Amino acid sequence: MRSLRDKKHRRREGLFLAEGLRILTEAREAGALPEMLFFAHDGVGHPLAQGLIAATEHAGGDVIETTPDILSKLSGKDNPQTLVGVYRDRLTPLERLNRSASGIWIVAQALRDPGNLGTILRTSDAVGGGGLILVDDCVDPFSVEAVRASMGALFTQAIAATRWETFVAWLRQGPGQLVGTSLRTDTDYQAPRYEAPTFILVGNEAQGLPQAYEGECDLLVKMPMLGKADSLNAAVATAVMAYEVLNQRRVR
């Protein structure tokens, strides 16, 4: 279990860690149970914890009681959660995504920060999005930090990982408007009427989208920056865009 804190081992085993009663309960409600569940005795008094243990055992998973000190060594935290689960990798092949399942999808290119990735998953869940498509070399969505930041949305959202050329070829095989966020445009993000399904494309936190990628977009938009900052955090920009698309459809 401890080795799953390392990306190399997560990929080799096809497993990842999730910590805490809230996230594990969200996973259970989404239909995902851990293959292994570690718990400290002090943390199993809650009915949700008892239900999670019983459901894991019923599904044939391993349930292991240990101590807070050992959980701390396993999770790498001084104050560990009292429940830690080991889950099967949840990547979905791009070709198996059902684009008609939602009118909003998030596409992130070369995203580097696990906190941003987790927050983007939460945003996608909040707006009823279909999921997150990771393009090129992005941070691992199954790192402990990304899973924690997603607050359970990792289990409600489809996640795919691919290269840019493969994504564009897949996108053009069916309906879908690709909307890029960029500073190299004069189109305000509230000006267009977005078509469903809308694929919101956000770039790397430092460099933004490559110009060649912007050229593939059906539409480029930007958010007004009235202060001294020249851009928004990637996760914040994604949330602003996702809620604009959602709000347009709510008033129709």
* Residues 42-76 pLDDT 10s: 767 789 999 999 999 999 999 999 988 888 877 76
| Angle, helices 114-126/234-250, rounded to nearest 10 degrees | 10
Q: Residues 66, 100: one domain?
A: no
**What residues have CB less than 8 Å from 150, skipping those under 6 apart?**
23, 117, 118, 119, 121, 122
Residue type, 55: A
Predicted TM-score (pTM) above 0.85: yes
pLDDT of residue 241: 97
Last residue of a domain, one of 33, 53, 88: 88
Q: Residues 185, 222: one domain?
A: yes
**What residues have CB less than 8 Å from 11, skipping those under 6 apart?**
none
Residue type, 191: A
Q: Residues 112, 23: one domain?
A: no
Residue type, 121: L
Radius of gyration of the chain (CA): 20
Structure tokens at 235: 């996760």
Q: Residues 104, 77: one domain?
A: no
Domain range for 38: 2-88
Q: Residues 65, 145: one domain?
A: no
Last residue of a domain, one of 67, 88, 109: 88
The CATH number that applies at residue 14 is 3.30.1330.30
Domain count, the chain: 2
Q: Residues 171, 56: one domain?
A: no
Q: Residues 83, 98: one domain?
A: no
Q: Give the model confidence (pLDDT) of 221-249 as tens digits.
A: 999 888 887 777 899 999 999 999 999 98
Q: Inform me whether the pLDDT recorded for 79 exceeds 70.
A: no
The CATH number that applies at residue 180 is 3.40.1280.10
Q: Residues 104, 212: one domain?
A: yes
